[in-house]
Amino acid sequence: MKKLFPVFTRKLTHVCRLKPYKDTKWLMPNGNPTGAYVYNCVAEEKVPIILNDPTIATWYSCGPTVYDSAHIGHACCYVKLDIIQRILKSFFKIKLVTAMGVTDIDDKIIKKGIETKTDFRTVAKKFEHEFWMDMSSLNVEKPMIVTRVSDHMNSISQFVKGLIDSGIGYVTEDGSVYFDTSKYPAYGKLQRMQDGGEPTAEVKRNKMDFAIWKGQKPGEPSWQTDWGEGRPGWHIECSAMVSKLFGSQLDFHAGGIDLQFPHHENEEAQSCAYHNTRQWANYWIHVGHLNLKDTKMSKSLQNTISIPSIVNKYSADAFRMACLMSNYRYSMEFSDEVMLTAEDVLNKFKFFLKDVIVYANDNSLHADYNDGLLKELQNVEEKNMECLRMDFDTSTCINSLLHLVAVANRAMKTNTPDYYPVPIILIAEYIINVLTGFGLKLTESMNNEVSNSLIDTLVEFRHTVRVNALQHKDKELLAACDVVRDKMKSVNVQINDSKNTPSWVLVK
């Protein structure tokens, strides 16, 4: 165990005074390269992912502050991070130990508790439950470990005490404790900031100093410490909880781009200071915001959209496909047009997989083995792995899969020569493996009790009528077929007409 998880053995018991240094560059970890690269904000470029053990990694995500219902803007962050985690596990075969911190005590949580005359823990638990329900509806995997701030007060206060003892944390008259950025020369390395040690007229010694402990205020919950009563500052929570779980170093630390500064900057500073190390998190992963055109989606702007409404209007798979078709590091626009495009792409895959089943079971197939399809499949497999290695480029992967579908469809629809179905089946299997590896379910749920076999019968009957109507140029029958198609779509069944055998999929 020591060989696999050396960082786990570090205890939160001793802190040495930080040695001054000016180097704020990213430090390449010692260990085994995985072959993958990820963008790092400290290095300002893509860097190789190197792990102590090439098959094991630690991952911490900054979770929600549970004082209100989540919205699709929040969900975008967690869906994209879920995609990256799945890629590491499914395509790079890394055993990922995942943890998420939940802030269950905060100014807004306390305020809501006072307004409703409810204990802050009860308020937090209610909204945390809703958060996990929303994540489940979007097929976001729950982390292996969930840490809640109120459960880790001893670890947090011990962490703060360590910083005070080292001289980099100082206590103010109101019982608060601040981190002295002037004693940490590397402060600002995630944002490439200049010296933050400017004088200030506040209780802080320097302008960029930040609170790691807040002194007690009347009516607020508090905890007793050696320097007085109070509660944790926001940034110290994650550092203390991660250190308790993973020790003095972490492989991946993830969150929204809005957390890069000051939250992650402060986490890195106080953790490096506590552990007397130059690099705490080896890989920072930040995902872009979800915007409405050029406007950020946020509660303060009152332009949020609930997660249930999106799942009901479209589907969890459609929203995930929209995320896959964008770059995780950049902002993503949310609109009906974007969602309909994602839904259309998703349906192309669903139609293809349905058509493959029909094609593979067609007894009239004979003749040649299509080596060209196998070569095309091999090329796409190699190209997609290279895209995933280079900072998880899922958008290019989706385009490559669509190209593969187009090539396979041409082969299935050609009349001369007919081919054995093996290459087509292998292509379908590969597409399923990639899409499910990204977290798409590709399953169809019915809103009524109509069975698939009944729909098959109706679609086949309509197809027979439509073919005859086309042969006899019967406009009245063709119009009736169109009415059936439209009515089926109104109950979420979309029919795809073809010359030979029609297919159908369930849509939102």
Q: Is the peptide bond before 417 cis (omega within 30 degrees of 0)?
A: yes
pLDDT above 70 (res 4): no
DSSP 21-48: ----SPPPPSSEEEEEEEEETTTTEEEE
Q: Which residues contact 460 (CB under 8 A, 6 or more apart)?
A: 502
SS3 readout for 242-299: HHHHHCCCEEEEEEEHHHHHHHHHHHHHHHHHHHCCCCCEEEEEEECCEEECCEECCC
Where is pLDDT greater, at 487 or 99?
A: 99
Per the CB < 8 A criterion, the answer to whether 7 and 56 are in contact is no
| pLDDT tier for residue 487 given thresholds of 50, 70 and 90 | confident
Amino acid at 168: I
Identify the weakest region by mean pLDDT among 1-5, 35-39, 144-148, 342-346: 1-5
pLDDT above 60 (res 112): yes
Query: Which token pair is 166?
Result: 């080292």
Mean of the pLDDT values across residues 173-189? Answer: 95
Which helix H or strand E contains 142, and what residues bound it? none
DSSP 486-502: HHHHHTTEEEE--SS--
What's the pLDDT at 366? 52
Mean of the pLDDT values across residues 458-462? Answer: 81
Helix (H, G, I), strand (E, B) or coil at 3: coil
| pLDDT tier for residue 154 given thresholds of 50, 70 and 90 | very high
Please give the class, per CATH, of domain 6-15+53-166+235-309: alpha beta
What's the pLDDT at 103? 92
Positive or negative torsion for Cα 281, 282, 284, 285: negative
> Comparing C-alpha atoms, which of 274, 279, 278, 277 is closest to residue 14?
274
Q: Which residues contact 102 (CB under 8 A, 6 or more apart)?
A: 63, 64, 66, 124, 128, 146, 147, 148, 149
Mean of the pLDDT values across residues 254-262? Answer: 95
Identify the weakest region by mean pLDDT among 189-193, 315-319, 337-341, 384-388: 189-193
Query: Which token pair is 18?
Result: 């930080």
pLDDT above 70 (res 199): no
| pLDDT tier for residue 334 given thresholds of 50, 70 and 90 | very high
pLDDT above 50 (res 5): no
pLDDT above 70 (res 92): yes
| pLDDT tier for residue 195 given thresholds of 50, 70 and 90 | very low
Which residues, listed in sequence order, are joined to residue 346 by a DSSP beta bridge?
Answer: none
Q: What is the dihedral of CA 331, 337, 342, 344, to 10 degrees?
A: -170
Please report, for the chain, how many H helices and E strands are present, in that order. Answer: 14, 17
| pLDDT tier for residue 152 given thresholds of 50, 70 and 90 | very high
> What CA–CA distance (Å, rounded) separates 271 from 242?
9
| pLDDT tier for residue 276 given thresholds of 50, 70 and 90 | very high
Amino acid at 130: E
pLDDT over 70, % of the chain: 87
What's the pLDDT at 415? 54
| pLDDT tier for residue 2 given thresholds of 50, 70 and 90 | very low
Where is pLDDT greater, at 396 or 483?
A: 396
What's the pLDDT at 198? 47
pTM of the model: 0.85
* 354 Cα distance to chain centroid: 29
What's the pLDDT at 64? 87
* pLDDT digits 0-9 by tens, 418-430: 566 778 888 999 9
Please state whether 391 falls in left (phi above 0), alpha (psi between -120 and 50) or beta: left
What's the pLDDT at 364? 64
Strand bridging mode 290-292 / 281-287: unpaired
Mean of the pLDDT values across residues 174-196? Answer: 84
pLDDT above 50 (res 497): yes
What's the pLDDT at 458? 77
Letter string b/e over residues 407-434, b meaning 16 or more CB atoms within 10 A of that residue's CB? bbbebbeeeeebbebebbeebbebbeeb
* Listed ranges 203-207, 359-363, 436-440; the one with the highest mean pLDDT: 436-440
> What CA–CA distance (Å, rounded) separates 246 from 9?
8
Helix (H, G, I), strand (E, B) or coil at 179: strand
* pLDDT digits 0-9 by tens, 336-348: 999 999 999 999 9
What's the pLDDT at 27? 96
What's the pLDDT at 23? 56
Across the chain, mean pLDDT equals 87
Identify the weakest region by mean pLDDT among 256-260, 284-288, 419-423, 432-436: 419-423
Mean of the pLDDT values across residues 54-81? Answer: 88
| pLDDT tier for residue 447 given thresholds of 50, 70 and 90 | very low
Amino acid at 157: S
Mean of the pLDDT values across residues 244-269? Answer: 96
pLDDT above 80 (res 7): no
Identify the weakest region by mean pLDDT among 60-74, 248-262, 411-425: 411-425
Q: What is the dihedral of CA 33, 35, 36, 40, to 10 degrees?
A: 40
